[in-house]
Structure 1
Amino acid sequence: MYESRNNLKWAGWLYLALAIIAPFSLSYVPSVIDGANGAFVDRLSAHEPLLRLSLASEILYQVIEVYIVIALFNYFRGVNVNLARQMLVLGLLPLPIIFLNELNLIGALSFVNADVTHGGMTLELRESMSALFYTLHGKGLILASIFWGLWLIPLGRLVLISNTIPKFFGISVMIGAAGYILRAVAILALPSLASPQMIENLSYVGSLMMIGEVPIIAGLLFAAYRKQPKLT
């Protein structure tokens, strides 16, 4: 017997909120920093308020994902409890990664003002340290994205066997899962094994496949608001 469809409603609307919030810190802010001119610490200094909003955004969307995963677990444990548990564990694992990873962004920002705690450091050293921490922050997000992909695999399988959400959405979300994993492997594991062009191509293909996650929002809301047959 399924849990109340309120779980699907919560999951669907929270997923929509996540889809609106996450691109701010994952795409918009990095594009602003990369597109700015001048020394790296100057770029961070000029956009410090934006970076701190990005930090808050990353924490917020990860907390939202926790509630999404819990709501989906409550709904799908009546379909297959083992798959639901896999989804729950894999969906919660990115939380500590993201929270610890924020220390890298805080570290990058700590080298922005020379007169705060690093007054004796040269500009070149501050530049190197801020760039290092900022790069580590970006890699940390890629590392977390492995689990953003992995938890979608049991979710997709649950959708396929649920008989309440159209199977298209299960297939689509599993394509998105493969995209996350492909992009992460290309960026983290292949730099010493493949050419930069191949890595860029694989990362681009993975990014396109990740779009497959988006339709599940419509699938969840569709199933939540339509009349569903009772299972016995």
Structure 2
Amino acid sequence: MNTLSKNARIAGFFYLLVILIAPLRLVYIPSKLFVSGDAAATIHAIASNELLFRLGIAGDLVTGAVSLVLTFTLYRLFRDVHKNTALLMLMLGFMDTPLYFFNTLNDMATLILVQGPDFLAAFDQAQRAGLATLFLRVHSMMTFASEIFWGLWLFPLAALVYRSGFLPRFLAVWLTINGFAYLALSYAGLLQPEYNDLVAGLAFPCQLGEVAFAFWILVLGAKQRQAAALRSPVAA
């Protein structure tokens, strides 16, 4: 296995980890614990499944940490293709980690309110449920805001894939579409929430671009011969 292909597979491994872990808090836990329009039922579900909710917090922290490593491994893979574009990808991709870490604070606050420790005795059950729901809503809004960076970093990544010569260009096109899908989801979630479900349904197949890219570089790696052939014109 050549060095380029090895670096591609390492990046693919970390990308797949993010893809597998991130949906725990983004998709699975809301589907299992959150009851739309019923704060009391949601709080009861979290209290009854505290371990699952804690796993969601841990999942977000792990996702943020792995995402940081992923961004670095992709920078190492593509820095010889075009350094400035690779640096732009690195900077935009780095934003994923602090946003994930910051957003776990909302879930930690929710968990404290659900547990109802003695220092919250001044708040009755309905007030605690309302405050917990507030933090869950802030978490959701923060996720919509984070999708701006989830989308933006895919554009320089797509440009690097397109120019690289060691990966197929259809992946670059799909990653670009994936980036616009995230921006559309962010726009709908923040500004037009009534269209959020519609946009999410339309965006789902577009978001498989990251999955295709991760599996490609993990399983097939990169072709050293084509990269060597195209590197000198790019550098020139």
In structure 2, give the amino acid aligned to 1:16: L
What TM-score, normalized by structure 2, do the two folds share? 0.88
- Which digits, 9 at most, give the CA deviation of each residue in 1:178-220, with x for residues without a partner? 11110011110224xxxx2x44322332333222221001232
State the identity %: 27
Q: Residue type matched to 1:228 in 2?
A: R
How many positions carry a matched residue from both structures?
Answer: 226
How far has the Cα of 1:25 moved from its partner? 1.6
Q: 1:201 is matched with which residue: 198, 210, 218?
A: 198
TM-score (ref. length: structure 1): 0.89
Amino acid at match of 1:209: C
CA–CA separation in structure 2 for the residues paired with 1:19 and 1:39: 29
More helix by percentage: 2
Partner of 1:142: 144
Q: Which residue of 2 aligns with 1:29?
A: 29
Counterpart of 1:221 in structure 2 is 218
Contact 2:67 2:96 in 1 (8 A): no
Give distance in 1, aligned partners of 2:119 and 2:6. Answer: 50
| Structure number with higher relative contact order (C-alpha < 8 Å, ≥ 6 residues apart) | 2
Change (3 A) 1:101 1:109: same
- In structure 1, the residue matched to 2:16 is 16
What is aligned with 1:132?
A: 134
SS of residue paired to 1:157 = helix
1:222 is displaced (CA, Å) by: 4.9
| Distance change (3 Å), C-alpha of 1:111 and 1:131 | same
Aligned-CA RMSD value: 2.1
Q: Once structures 1 and 2 are overlaid, which stretch shifts more, 163-172 or 11-20? A: 11-20
For 1:3 and 1:148, the matched residues in 2 are separated by 28
Q: Please tell me the residue identity of whatever aligns with 2:188.
A: A
> Does the CA-based 8 Å contact 1:175-1:213 persist in structure 2?
no
Amino acid of the structure 1 residue aligned with 2:213: I
Deviates more, 1:220-229 or 1:178-187: 220-229
Asked if structure 1 preserves the Cα contact closer than 8 Å seen for 2:47 and 2:114, the reply is yes
Q: Offset at 1:223?
A: 5.0
Q: Distance in 2 between matches of 1:208 and 1:219?
A: 17
Give me the whole-angstrom Cα distance separating, in 2, the residues matched to 1:155 and 1:29.
Answer: 30
Are 1:94 and 2:96 counterparts?
yes
Equivalent AA in structure 2 for residue 122 of structure 1: D
Indicate conservation of the 8 Å contact 2:166/2:224, yes or no.
Answer: no
Q: Which amino acid aligns with 1:206?
A: A
Residue 158 of structure 2 corresponds to: 156
